[in-house]
Structure formats: structure tokens, C-alpha cells
Chain A
Amino acid sequence: MAYYRHLATEWEEMSNKAVRVLLIEDNPADTRLIREILAEAKSSPFKLECADRLATGLACLAKGRIDVVLLDLGLPDSQGLSTLAKVQAVALTMPVVVLTILDDEALAVEVVQKGAQDYLVKGQVDSDLLVRSIRYAIERKRAEEKARQLETLKELEQVRSQLLANVSHELRTPLTTIKGYSTMLLDYDRRLGRDEKHEYLSAIDKATDRMTELVDHLLDITRLEAGLLKLDKVPTNITALLQTTIAEARLRTPGHKIILNQPKTVLKLNGDGRRIRQVVDNLIDNATKYSKAGSTVTIEARSQDSELVISVADQGIGIPRENSGKVFDRMFNLEHKLTQETGGLGLGLALCKSLVEAHGGRIWVKSELGRGSVFYFALPQEAIAEGEAYGEKGQQSNNSHHRG
């Protein structure tokens, strides 16, 4: 009941309130005609704004306060279907009715397929038709938006259930080590040698570390999704951060040759050192995971056009061209066979993307199948006041903790 009452109220509001129409049309005669029709429309009031160029129209759209766009595809500064695309790029959820002089059925179909809500042929537009078309476009767009939101929810649900499946598998692997070795130590205590017992106990220890990492990783993902992950941005010494990160990566994967190339001058930026480090760690782990032992992983950092660019290059299996745009996509990695085979949650790269974007940066990959991949990320380097203290975030306090 409440739902219908809500709908009825919405409809009443819509009927009483003036519909704000933006007409993007360069022909003064057509503009005058539509202005007259809308001014005379008795059933409902319209408020019309006009633009005779696409640029003016887009500027008006950017300001908001428009309910529907009447769009001529042939304008001085834009022609054809790309005119529609440019409007959609600025206002994706805006209902659009396309106007044209051509009575072209094929174009009509195409315009609607590309997301316009309706199509009117100039010269055949009368008052009833125009008013109905505008109303219909608004309602249709609203329905489309609801359907789209539902689709997004379904997708999110799919991501969640696949993530749950991967998490459960990933937790079971170290759990199996812990359960297996500990019961073996209990059952065969007297028959196991000292060295052997030590080997099993350290495997149990490593398995608990792996589980801790997984839990941390999962919490980060959840926080990011809920928008709860707060960056702690401070002036950060990236040169030192990379040195520490790479030294630890070498210990973690002694089978790979890990090289760091960075300029002699100290690189610094305003950022969350812990999170930047997490991105580098993830990219290095990714590189070693998909390349053979003995191969080289090269990390480079440089300052360029007020951005700090860090790259991680491997000599691994590479990424098929058709997938290079999808590797940062959650669902792609969650479901991909490679994730199932090589283990991991499948969310490392998606997490990197979120962390980089949270810093206002961008991340991308260049890859050649069979030759290797290079992952890049760029972070904006805002000016850091001269003489301001900087350091690897939290390093100092951590050290004193250790000493204490």
C-alpha cells in the first residue's frame, strides 16, 4: 500500500511541478516552434532552456536542474550519433529525446538502441506528440534506471557469493596443514624425529600467518566496499618505502631476482604509506606468482608531470589482449580459472585499484602474452611544504614499540 501511495505522490508531484526541458538545437525556427508548443501545453507546465551548440548544452547539463533533453543530432560543434554519446557521457541518467529532420527508420532504431528514450521527426511534431514523448521519456528512463540498479545489486550478490567460495577454499588450505600436522604430532609423537617435528611445527606456524594475512586482506576489502577505509595521508618518503618493501619481498620469494631502479633524489608524496606499500606488495606477489622462479621482477619509480609513477615488470606468462582491461575487475578475477588454480582470493588487483584511486591516482597494465606484464600506477604529487618532516609513515613509532 505504502508503495502505491508513494508512486501516486510522485506522479502528482511530477504533474504539478514544471518539467525542466533542455533543448539543444541550432536551428532558430525549430527552437521557436518547440518553445511555442511547450508554452501552450495546457496539461502540464514546462520550463524550457535552450542551447544552440552542444558545448553550451553540456555546460547547462553539468549544472543540473534538468529533467529531460531534446537533442538535435546535427549541431555546429557535433554531428550524428556521437552527439548523443557526448550527452550521455555528461549525464548518464538523463532522459533524451532525439530530434531530426530525417524520417530515417534505421537511425531511429540506432538512436534508441544507443540509449535515447524516444525519437521525433521535425515537421511531424505536434503538441500532443511532443508532450507525450517528453513524459514517456522521463518515465521510461526512470524504469530503466531501476532495472539497472537491480542488475548492479544482482552482480554484487554474485561477487559476494563467489568471494565467499574463494575465502572458504583459501582458509581451508592452511587449516588443512594445521589440522593435519597437529594431529600427526599428537598421534605419532614417539615415532617422529626431533627435526621432523620441528618441520611440522614451522609449517603450522606459517599456515597461521597465511590465515592472518587472509583475514586482514578480507577486512580491507570489506572496509573499502563500505567506504570505511580511511587513508592516513602524510608526507611520505617513497624512496625509503620501496627499499624496505623490496628487501622484504626478496626474503619472501628468494627464487626470483627482484631489482629496484629509482632515482638518487628522494621521491616523496602526500599519501598513506601503509596502503601504498600494500599496492606494491600485491603487485610484486602477483609478478612472482605468474612468472617462473629464476626470472627477474623489476620495480621502477620516477617522478613525471607532477605524478609519481611506480611500475612492476615481470617476465611471466603475460595477459591475453582481450583480458588486459579486465584484470582489475573483481568478478573477472574471482571467477577466473587461474585464480582457482593458483589460489588466493582473486582480489589483489581489485584492491590495488581501489587503494590507488582512493589516493586520486590511476593504475594500468601493459602486457605481452608469453613475454610478461608491466603494472603501472601513478599517484598525484601534491606540493609538500619545504622543510616539512616526512618519513615512512609510522616507522618511527613502530621502531620504538619494538625496542620497548
Chain B
Amino acid sequence: MVKKGSRATILIIEDEDDIRTFASRVLELEGYQVLQAGDGDEGLKLARGNQVVLVLLDLRLPGRDGWAVLSQMKSDPELSSMPVVVFTASAATQQRSQALAGGAADYLVKPLSATSLRKSIARILR
């Protein structure tokens, strides 16, 4: 677990208020600093220059959707090494492999427990 004082920053891009609050609160309780964005454009803005160590990304977003954000990040030299955990309501196998092939570090299906979220993030940032 990350110690206080050296708090790593995680960016959450999610349009549903309740779900964004849930994910941020769990990650805060786990000792991370959290940035929140409600859509893809705002998310891409926050991803730069904030020493973000990981992005939690919803796929279904208004305007520029999560798929577009993922491919934009992976083709941008500044952002391409940042791990992206995709967070979606679709359990379709095809989408999962598409996201992983597109550079996602993990694929989390909603609904999701606090434990699953915590474990996925911890595994990637270990």
C-alpha cells in the first residue's frame, strides 16, 4: 500500500456520479490521491502533467467515448505508458479482448465490489 506523503495519483473517467463517487472513495481509502473527470475530453486534459500513475476508464461516455480515449492515450508518447483499467457494463468476451488488445491493463465488469476494484489496481501498481 502506498504510504501517506507519497500518495500516487489515479484518474477516474466516469460519467455516472454514483459510480465515480464509489470508485474515488474506495481508492482514497486505499491511500491514493484521486482526480475525477465526467467525460473523455476532461479526462485527457487531466491525464497530462498531473503525475497520474493509472487511469480508470468507463467505456460508455458522452461525446468522445472510452474507446476513443484509450486509443488516443496509447498513440500519445506522453500517455502511452500509463496503465489504463477499463471499467464497463458489458461482459462481452469480444469487447474484453478488444480492450486488452487496444492496450488496456485490465478489464473490469460492472457491477463491481470494493475488493475487486482494490485488488485490480494493487496488482497493476505492485
Q: Which chain A residues have a beta carbon within 8 Å of chain B's beta carbons?
A: 168-169, 172-173, 175-181, 183-184, 186-188, 191, 203, 207, 340-342
Q: Are B29 and A191 in contact (CB under 8 A)?
A: yes
Nearest to A204 among chain B residues (CB) is B18
How near does chain B come to A90, taking the closest CB pair, in angstroms? 47
A183 to B23, CA, bound (A): 11
CB-CB under 8 A from A176, the residues of chain B are 16, 18-19, 22, 89, 110-112
Contacts of A184 in B (CB 8 A): 22, 25-26, 29, 114
A168 to B112, alpha carbons, bound, how many Å?
15
A173 in contact with B62 given A180-B22, A180-B112, A184-B114 (CB within 8 Å)? no
Quick one: given A176-B89, A341-B62, are A188 and B19 in contact (CB under 8 Å)? no
Shortest Cβ gap from B40 to chain A (Å): 12
User: CA–CA, A175 to B115, complex, Å?
Assistant: 16
In the complex, what residues of A have CB within 8 A of residue B26's CB? 180, 184, 188
Would you call B89 and A340 a contact (CB within 8 A)? Answer: no
A183 touching B115 by the CB < 8 A rule?
yes
B50 within 8 A of A: no
How many B residues are at the interface, by size bracket? 20 to 34
Say yes or no: A180-B23 contact (C-beta < 8 A), given A173-B89, A175-B111, A187-B115.
yes
Flag whether B90 is at the interface (Cβ < 8 A): yes
CA distance A175 to B18 in the complex (A): 11
Q: How far is the CA of A381 from the CA of B47 in the complex (A)?
A: 60
Q: Across the interface, name the chain A residue whose C-beta is closest to B116.
A: A183
| Contact in complex: A177, B90 (CB < 8 Å) | no
5 residue pairs, one from A and one from B, having the closest CB atoms: A179-B111, A180-B22, A183-B113, A172-B89, A176-B110
- Could you say which of A168, A177, A340 contacts B18, with CB atoms under 8 Å apart? A177
Question: Which of A173, A176, A341 has the largest count of B CB atoms less than 10 A from its CB?
Answer: A176
**Complex Cα gap A83–B25 (Å):** 70
Q: Are A187 and B114 in contact (CB under 8 A)?
A: yes
**Cβ–Cβ < 8 Å partners of A178 in chain B:** 111
Which of A168, A180, A340 sits near B19, CB closer than 8 Å? A180
